[in-house]
Amino acid sequence: MRGKGGISGAAGEELAAEHLKSSGYRIVERNWRCRQGELDIVAVDGKTLVFVEVKARGAGARTTPLEAVDLYKQRKLIKAAKQYISEKSLGNVGARFDVVTVTQGCDSPVVEIIADAFMLEGGWE
C-alpha cells in the first residue's frame, strides 16, 4: 500500500534495511512472523540483538512514524521478540528495540534510526 507522498511499506522497509547495513548493522531476518505478531527486521549491532520496527510516512501524514509505535504496538513487538528469542534458543541475549523512520523529504526519503526507542519492562522472562 502506498501512502501520501508515495512511500509504500515495502519500499520503506527496503530503505530501512539498506540504511541499517550502511550503519554497521547485520540483518538476520526480515518480516519474521509468529502468532504474536511480526518483526519487520531482526538485526545485530555489535553484540546486541536488535528488533527493528519500520514506519514510513509520506508528505502530509497526520502522525509521525514514531507516534505510530504506540504502547499497543510496543507490547505486540515485545511479545513477538520474546517468541523469537524462545524459538531460536537464544537464552539470555542482550537485545533492544529500535525504530527506523522513513519520511518523504523535499527530494528524497529521509531515513532515521532511533536506537532504544522503547524499553522492555521486567526483563525477557
Contact 124, 22 (CB under 8 A): no
C-alpha cell at 8: 509504500
Average pLDDT over residues 112-122: 86
Higher pLDDT residue, 104 or 14? 14
Whether domain 9-118 has CATH 3.30.420.40: the reply is no
If you search the block for the grid coordinates 507516534, which residue do you land on? 67
Average pLDDT over residues 20-36: 97
pLDDT-based confidence at residue 38 (cuts at 50, 70, 90): very high
pLDDT-based confidence at residue 107 (cuts at 50, 70, 90): confident
Cα separation, 114 vs 99, in Å, equals 5
Average pLDDT over residues 39-68: 87
Predicted local confidence at residue 122, as pLDDT:
61
Predicted local confidence at residue 119, as pLDDT:
82
Predicted local confidence at residue 3, as pLDDT:
45
| Amino acid at residue number 42 | V
Give this prediction's pTM.
0.88
Element (H, E) at 110: strand 109-118
Q: Chain-wide mean pLDDT for the chain?
A: 88
